[in-house]
Chains A and B, each alone.
Chain A
């Protein structure tokens, strides 16, 4: 079957579908499936827009709402994962996946589905080490910290995916698996994105979680986005048993949806002609979800997943035949994903903009139905219960530098998502994703709300108290590590600019940088922020050689 893959959508659904239509006309024929690797921006209304971690000037409604309302319909089955620019409150309603619009399916925090016999898995979000071992403690209204941590990959998702034993055909992640760049034309990549060089050479670019999954799952295809560059790689995995044929993964990362960019790819992928042509649940994945239901964690406390170290009674949550049969019985032997999309939130009406639309933490009926059928817990129900019972740790901000479980609940009461965001330099929201690194600095300053030395936007409020919106910059210009790598996205401008980097080692002897443009616009030296390039037109990307 013909599968189209898209990189970062940034809400440009119309353009993607139009380009797809053109590709179908110019190519071998109609496409059966579109896979989108994140930054989908399923923004239904103004409240959703406020939950998107982007600078205000990039906060555009775009076109998704028309698909949500039914005004338009996706012309092809579309499956997507979340990235780091999403309507997080909307996606949060569907932790196990679900329809965000007719014919548009979100895979959830992590998920596996089947279409025409092809197993498609994915993990949403980007990797950030300081949030990785936390539970899913965030809920709307988000504060300046949780609006970002909400999309940070968690260990529980990786753990669940690592229980998969049966082969996966396609896997999606927003950020790249670490090391994947060594398996393709690295020279060309560094020619196009020269500021990746140090991290590529240090092998710190990309997500270690995704890399772990790539090594474990060895899917036939792995698609990513996030770095706004097209890059292909061919990775031959290690053979475990002699005599076996080595599996290989075809990796492809794509660019963002803009003119003249490589944001779309049409591929021929083998399928089972006898398999149904509707979206199906994956029985092995459902079984794993059931098995791991007791592992739900809605706190911000760091935790480790069970392992065979004498501390846990169970560490193997892989799907047994018996358990899979049980799940099949629960689903009445019908694995078809029900077409149960319904409009549950007000849809944006351009003629009647609602700037004060309320942001609520919703329980989505699709998730309710799914959980009821499978016999598992809706994370959001658990979250709401925890809030009610005040067992929700991390409610209160900690100032002592110990890792914070901040959901910022108290703060969030005072800071609606809009007010919290408006008090910070808009660019800080983007910068946070790029500048952290993975070494001990991170673990020592894992509290995103304390004045960590990382040039994180979360630091802004604390910094601003002592430095009056001057921020300490790390010494090196080059983003050091990996989990920020969303970073290089923004570093498409001149590398000599005063941009944050992430090694965090030399943080006291660097020039201070103004945080907020808003407060002293006249004195502000124009600093080109890295991430602006995410939303910039093609001619703003100076480094693009393509």
Chain B
């Protein structure tokens, strides 16, 4: 089953390395046609989504993101995770670094599985958009953005090892080196 691609194609990243894919590829992303983009405001953010879908991928690979942590690079380590808490902050991104990765529904691609093809002269495009939007919404959950370790306390290996002692060997032969 072919899924509709809601994400507009992105030109090669301006940075080196992985950004250089686009030169040899003729990827064909979202066709130009389509209905109006459904509203998808960033939470609490009134800045306009001005980045065009086919515009440059001004992904902030180190430039325009607000600093997420203080301190310098500690020689390879980033500190122990704070037990029971999530160190990251979901602060709002600066307006300039926002990307609108909206989709352009209404493109002529295979309908999502099970969705009937509508043929009404006026409502079909919008109906299809709404269906696609609803479908995509069904995949997203707000918990995807929440701290999955919130409320968890660290559990010590020592405590668990005392309860369960059969974690070492898989053959059941004592003293056998695992590998």
Contact = CB atoms under 8 A, between A and B. Distances in A.
Nearest to A273: B62
B122 interface: no
B107 interface: no
B102 A21 contact: yes
B97 interface: yes
B148 interface: yes
A26 B145 contact: yes
A350 B41 CA distance: 36
A22 interface: yes
A129 B155 contact: no
B149 A208 contact: no
Contacts of A262: 141, 143-144
Given A21-B7, A230-B148, A236-B83, A70 B26 contact: yes
Interface in B1-53: 1-7, 9-10, 15-22, 24-29, 40-43
Classify chain A's interface size.
Answer: 35 or more
A275 B73 contact: yes
A29 B97 contact: yes
B20 to A, nearest CB: 5
Nearest to A207: B170
A483 to B, nearest CB: 8
Contacts, number: 273
A528 interface: no
Contact of B62 (A102, A234, A236, A277): A277
Contacts of B62: 116, 273, 277
A236 B157 contact: yes
A197 to B, nearest CB: 15
Interface string A447-465: 0000000000000000000
A30 interface: yes
Contacts of B99: 24, 29-30
A117 B93 contact: no
Contacts of A117: 73, 76
Contacts of A220: 78, 80-81
B154 interface: yes
Interface string B58-85: 0111100101110001001111110110
Contact of A268 (B89, B97, B179): B89
B25 A250 contact: no
B100 interface: yes
B1 to A, nearest CB: 6
A211 interface: yes
Interface in A213-264: 215, 220-221, 230, 232-238, 245-250, 252, 257-260, 262-264
Given A260-B138, A266-B145, A276-B17, A18 B5 contact: yes
Contacts of A415: none
Give the dominant DSSP class at A's interface.
loop
A524 B132 CA distance: 39
Interface stretch (A90-98, A177-185, A403-411): A177-185
B177 A248 contact: no
Nearest to B99: A30
Nearest to B63: A277
A40 interface: no
A19 B166 contact: no
A129 B170 contact: yes
Interface in B118-173: 135-145, 148-149, 152-158, 160, 163-164, 166-172
Interface string A268-294: 111111111111000000000000000
A438 interface: yes
Contacts of B170: 129, 132, 208, 438, 482-483
Interface in A1-26: 1, 12, 14-15, 17-19, 21-26
Interface string B88-127: 1111110001111111000000000000000000000000
Contacts of B91: 28
Given A32-B61, A70-B25, A208-B170, A18 B136 contact: yes
Nearest to A23: B144
Interface of A: 1, 12, 14-15, 17-19, 21-30, 32, 60, 62-63, 66, 70-73, 75, 77, 102-103, 116-119, 129, 132, 155, 158-159, 162, 166-167, 169, 178-179, 182-185, 202-204, 208-209, 211-212, 215, 220-221, 230, 232-238, 245-250, 252, 257-260, 262-279, 304-305, 307, 309, 336-337, 339, 341, 350, 438-440, 443, 482-483
Query: Which 4 pairs of residues, A with B, have the shortest CB-CB distance?
Result: A278-B17, A268-B88, A102-B21, A70-B25
12 contacts: A15-B139, A18-B6, A22-B40, A73-B27, A132-B170, A182-B163, A203-B164, A233-B152, A238-B156, A238-B158, A268-B86, A440-B172
Interface of B: 1-7, 9-10, 15-22, 24-29, 40-43, 59-62, 65, 67-69, 73, 76-81, 83-84, 86-93, 97-103, 135-145, 148-149, 152-158, 160, 163-164, 166-172, 177-179
